[in-house]
Homo-oligomer: A and B are copies of this chain.
Amino acid sequence: MGQDQEHQDDSMVMIETNLDDMSGEWMGYVMDRLFETGAKDAFYTPIYMKKNRPAQKLSVLAKEQDLATILDLLFKETTTLGVRYYPVTCHRLERQFLKVRLPLGEVSVKVGRRDGVVVQIAPEYEECAMIARNSGIPLKQVFNQVQQAFRNQYPEWEVNKKA
């Protein structure tokens, strides 16, 4: 049962580069490698560049101390000749993981609190997906069952309530 306090983190950096001369096929690989190398988040945004080029902007959210490592990876694994970045502040909720028992298995639920008040209740995707895959039950139904079971097992954890 992990726990993180709500906090504000000023030591983050957003790293961006525009990719207009690289195969989309390689972009999935780059994303995997970024997470392995310490990126906190990574995503692609479709953009339109000069000379009628559809392209992708790659955005990587990382700790400032990991900047050099991420740049290394970007220069090795993408085709870019230049990367830009700027500091960002991250505000993260207090997070707590609770276990929910279902007939089909146990699932973690992430609870997010702001100023002590529950605002998010999020079943873990990977665990729900595994149950869905093994049982043949639709994933959306597994999520619903987890949320229902959560309410029964943890009635005190209710959205909009101090808990």
Query: Are B148 and A160 in contact (CB-based, < 8 A)?
Result: no
Question: Which of A28, A32, A122 counts the most chain B CB atoms within 10 A?
Answer: A28
User: Is there an interface contact between B91 and A82, defined as CB atoms closer than 8 Å?
Assistant: yes
Q: Which of A91-113 contact B (CB under 8 A)?
A: 91-93, 95, 110, 112
Which listed residue, B24, B25, B81, touches A95 by the CB 8 Å rule? Answer: B81
Tallying the copies of this chain within the complex gives: 6
Q: Which of B23, B83, B147 contacts A20 (CB 8 A)?
A: B23
Give the A interface residue count (CB, 8 A).
Answer: 80
Residues of A within 8 A of B (CB): 12, 14, 18-32, 35, 41-57, 59, 61, 71-72, 75-93, 95, 110, 112, 114, 119-120, 122, 125, 129, 132, 137-141, 143-144, 147-148, 151, 159-160
Contact A91–B84 (Cβ < 8 Å): yes
Nearest CB on B from A155, distance (A) = 12
The listed residue with most B CB atoms (<10 A of its CB), out of A12, A19, A47, A140, is A140
A24 touching B19 by the CB < 8 A rule?
yes
Min CB distance, A75 to chain B, in Å?
A: 5
Question: Which residue on chain B has the smallest CB distance to residue A59?
Answer: B47
Give the nearest-CB partner of A90 in chain B.
Answer: B84
State which of B43, B79, B82, B122 has its C-beta within 8 Å of the C-beta of A47. B43
B22–A72 touching, CB < 8 Å: no
Q: Could you list 11 further interchain pairs (A-B, Cβ under 8 angstroms) beyond the known A22-B23, A43-B55, A79-B122?
A: A14-B84, A14-B86, A22-B24, A24-B56, A26-B140, A43-B57, A44-B48, A51-B52, A76-B119, A82-B92, A138-B159
